[in-house]
Structure 1
Amino acid sequence: MAARAWFILGLVVAPVVFASLLEGGAAAARPPSMTQQQRQQVQSLLRRLNKPPVATIQSPDGDIIDCVHISKQPAFDHPLLKNHTIQMRPFSYPRDLHNGSNIAPQPITQPWHQNGRCPENTIPIRRTKEEDVLRASSISMFGKKRPGSILNHNSLEQSVTSGHEWATASSSGDRYYGTKATFNLWQPNIERSGDFSLTQLWIIKGSYSGNDLNTIEAGWQVYPGMYGDRNPRLFIYWTRDAYNHTGCYNLCSGFVQTNNQIAIGGSLSPVSTYGGTQYEFSILIWKDQQGGNWWLQVGGYVLGYWPSSLFTYLADSASRVDWGGEVASNPNAGQTATQMGSGHFPVEWFGKASYIRNIQLVNPSNYLQSPSGVSTVQQRNCYNVQNYVDSNWGTYIFYGGPGRNPNCP
């Protein structure tokens, strides 16, 4: 590959102006016929999600960040974690086959950092507002993905994958204990407020057919229907029953955060520009061999973990790992022009197309290694992916596309 002029994402943050994308403003999102009972349900959910803060920070992008005592975080609302003892740090880290060292720190700054930091023994939580809940299709679906939010490699039945389009690489058939990759950061255009565009990794075991699909997911997404803006945001997700009942975005229940520096669900900036400076950050997820929990590291920060007790199959290991982009839209509205990645196809290459580089897997010996075989899946005329291997970037992909275009009507 030709020499590249790229900038590792320290995510030095410029102020981001918050703009509500609710049609007609926040008031328009409130159904005129909402009953008193429904209003009470919304307020009850907000009380459950928004824990009493030790301190509160107003972010320049419009978010409110609550610094909540680590023992009061939403994870412990989950019935499986009622008596959970917090593990403040992992017992072990995966070893890098290339240099024998851990991941080099890459400091990440988010907009709310301009106005303060959370104290020790607290974690930053993006406050959920009433309008956030009202944008969801229902109170019960707030913070959740729709079933069919991961590509079913065994069957492409429309009943499962309708409304979702992918450009991903995948490694499967072995026992995996985590993955690490470096993600290029963009701000794709979202055509409809109900669409989302994301770039992420998936750690997977189980199936749709048995309603026992287990996943751990992390990456960045632009999702007006969830956050009320079009900023790229750090997100996580998990499920153990194919997205039917369990699991949720970010910190609603399950993930135990131990770090007071990074708000999961918070905005990330600056973003890459077409033909200009490229920004990136790394994500590492691994299963702690001694403790058994699945830990998350973003840049140089170890953020916390998914307790192994949340899962069935992933309580042991994963059998498949995916990396790439996904766009979701209303399947009844026709092909969306929501962009994936930079909105440009992989053939345009570095500085114009989005990439994920240095893709590695954690093997049973707790070493990071390049995948031995990678397959790709894409909606070729709407979004595309190409995978490569070289000595500088290891295993990597370029991916993305514009969505609706003359070849993808």
Structure 2
Amino acid sequence: MTEEGLELEQQLNHLNKPFIKSIQNKDGRFYDCVHLYKQTALDHPNLLKHKIQMRPTSLPKGFSTSSGGSSHVKPSEIEQLEGKGCPIGTVPIKRITKEDLIRTRSLSNVHPLTVGSPGAHVSHFFLSVLFGRHLFTKTIGDFAYFGAQAVIVTNNPMLYSNTQSSETMISVSNGVPNELNSIDVGWTVNPTLYGDNKTRLYTRWTIDGYRNTGCYNTMCPGFVQTSSNITLDATFWPTSTYNGHQFGSKFSVFLDNSTRNWWFAVDDNLVGYWPGSIFTCLYSFASTIVWGGATRSPVGLIYKPEMGSGHFPSEGFRKASFFKQLQLIPLDEGYVFRDLRGTQEIEQVTDKPNCYGVGGITDFEDGKYSFYFGGPGGICGY
């Protein structure tokens, strides 16, 4: 066996844990039902004696188990494992293959929301003090947040190459760039990560701006899975169609103010959490919240991928992609999800306006604070 082959085998043995049961889903992927305390998350040096929390100590008021389905936006179903999922006391972890490891070696370690990063383009709403550039030195004040949520319409943006990706996310973060603590949750089309062009759930985290720490999903120790039937690469179906039905799911990420763990939920599914002990800046609060989209393309590829629905915000409902019911948990206002307020500093960021855009806050149906975003990509320049 070659040195490279031996290295891959060692990685596989480390990532793929002993399991009680194995489940194969419809697209042929294998999910191993791993004992709660055998999952990869607990290999993190800060979690060797971690006691797993099966549910938040308390749920924030306003935490909704609704996808926001209405006459205008229908619930997008998230794939669940066949049957009843994994047995009690175990969690489903995708079995990593050599092909997975080889593909993901090319994943960039630069956060896609980093404006000016080669090949990465963004369109999003940016909420923070001082527009989120230098927040690590700030004391807890009016610009500290304990969570965010929104209904995100699900799309299946087109890519021009299997080396590209397009994603839509909520991001909570704190810290200067080199010490950035960040959690992202949302959906993505990412053939490098998943091996196909389906719209899939994803998460991502770091404590140093992705210089040395962090990863997608469970590709490294950190995220503690608690759901027995939702996986971090689950597909969303159906997705919205141009001038047709619109589908969406509610994404929530919030801090348990007792344990300091950051919980992640999709609709009524509590999927799991990032323990507070793996963070530095984000242990106490988030200073910046982002709702929006990002694309990534290797430098040299002329055509950039679609973002969202592939249409500009100006086209409006049934055509442009959107976020609906933007809410957050501000400090000193109780443990409550609240709508955005006009007094909060919100910056709109679009680095390639000829290819992507973000519209202003609008009162969309019962959605209150909502906005359109996205675009066709194409020739954007570098």
Q: Please state how far the C-alpha of 1:196 moved relative to its aligned partner.
A: 0.6
Q: Deviation string for 1:228-286 (max 9, x for gaps)?
A: 10011101111010101111110231011111120112222111111111111011111
Gap change, CA 1:189 and 1:236, over 3 Å in 2:
same
Q: Please state how far the C-alpha of 1:375 moved relative to its aligned partner.
A: 1.6
Q: Please state how far the C-alpha of 1:188 moved relative to its aligned partner.
A: 0.7
Superposed CA RMSD = 1.9
**1:345 partner letter:** F
Specify every segment of 5 or more residues in structure 1 that has no aligned partner in the other structure, as ranges.
1-34, 97-101, 139-143, 153-157
Give the aligned partner of residue 151 of structure 2: 182
Question: 3-state DSSP class of the match of 1:133?
Answer: helix
Are residues 1:330 and 2:298 paired? yes
1:87 corresponds to which of 45, 50, 53 = 53
Give the aligned partner of residue 394 of structure 1: 368
Distance across 2 between alignment mates of 1:55 and 1:324: 38
Give the aligned partner of residue 35 of structure 2: 69
Q: Please state how far the C-alpha of 1:288 moved relative to its aligned partner.
A: 0.8
Q: Deviation string for 1:322-374 (max 9, x for gaps)?
A: 0110001112333x331111111111111111111101111122111122332
Q: Please state how far the C-alpha of 1:115 moved relative to its aligned partner.
A: 5.7
Are residues 1:58 and 2:58 paired? no
Matches within 5 A, 1:361-372: 361-364=328-331, 365-372=334-341
The answer (yes or no) to whether the contact 1:59–1:115 under 8 Å persists in 2 is no
Matches within 5 A, 1:243-322: 243-252=210-219, 253-322=221-290
Distance across 2 between alignment mates of 1:295 and 1:203: 12
Q: Please state how far the C-alpha of 1:145 moved relative to its aligned partner.
A: 4.3
**1:193 partner letter:** N
Give the aligned partner of residue 7 of structure 1: none
Question: 3-state DSSP class of the match of 2:3?
Answer: helix
Give the aligned partner of residue 353 of structure 1: 320
**2:247 partner letter:** Y
Matches within 5 A, 1:199-218: 199-208=168-177, 211-218=178-185
Q: Please state how far the C-alpha of 1:216 moved relative to its aligned partner.
A: 0.8
Gap change, CA 1:148 and 1:298, over 3 Å in 2:
closer
Are residues 1:194 and 2:150 paired? no
Distance across 1 between alignment mates of 2:215 and 2:28: 23
Identity level (%): 35
Distance across 1 between alignment mates of 2:232 and 2:34: 13
Distance across 2 between alignment mates of 1:164 and 1:236: 18
Q: Please state how far the C-alpha of 1:137 moved relative to its aligned partner.
A: 3.3
2:353 corresponds to which of 377, 380, 396 = 380
Distance across 2 between alignment mates of 1:396 and 1:109: 21
Q: Please state how far the C-alpha of 1:383 moved relative to its aligned partner.
A: 0.6
**1:202 partner letter:** S
**1:381 partner letter:** N
The answer (yes or no) to whether the contact 1:57–1:112 under 8 Å persists in 2 is no
**2:320 partner letter:** A
The answer (yes or no) to whether the contact 2:23–2:82 under 8 Å persists in 1 is no
Distance across 2 between alignment mates of 1:266 and 1:307: 22
Specify every segment of 5 or more residues in structure 2 that has no aligned partner in the other structure, as ranges.
68-74, 130-142
Gap change, CA 1:339 and 1:353, over 3 Å in 2:
same
Gap change, CA 1:112 and 1:257, over 3 Å in 2:
closer
Distance across 1 between alignment mates of 2:76 and 2:22: 20
Q: Deviation string for 1:6-65 (max 9, x for gaps)?
A: xxxxxxxxxxxxxxxxxxxxxxxxxxxxx7111011111111111122111111123212
2:3 corresponds to which of 23, 26, 37 = 37
The answer (yes or no) to whether the contact 1:61–1:111 under 8 Å persists in 2 is no
Gap change, CA 1:302 and 1:340, over 3 Å in 2:
same
Q: Please state how far the C-alpha of 1:114 moved relative to its aligned partner.
A: 4.0
Give the aligned partner of residue 121 of structure 2: 165
**2:27 partner letter:** D
Q: How many residues align?
A: 354
Give the aligned partner of residue 155 of structure 1: none
Distance across 1 between alignment mates of 2:77 and 2:87: 16
Gap change, CA 1:358 and 1:186, over 3 Å in 2:
same
Question: 3-state DSSP class of the match of 2:6?
Answer: helix
Are residues 1:104 and 2:65 paired? yes
Question: 3-state DSSP class of the match of 1:229?
Answer: coil
1:127 corresponds to which of 69, 92, 95 = 95
Q: Deviation string for 1:354-406 (max 9, x for gaps)?
A: 1111011111221111223322111211111112232621211111111115x
Question: 3-state DSSP class of the match of 2:88?
Answer: coil
Give the aligned partner of residue 344 of structure 1: 311
Give the aligned partner of residue 207 of structure 2: 240
Q: Please state how far the C-alpha of 1:111 moved relative to its aligned partner.
A: 4.6
Question: 3-state DSSP class of the match of 1:113?
Answer: coil
Distance across 2 between alignment mates of 1:150 and 1:381: 18
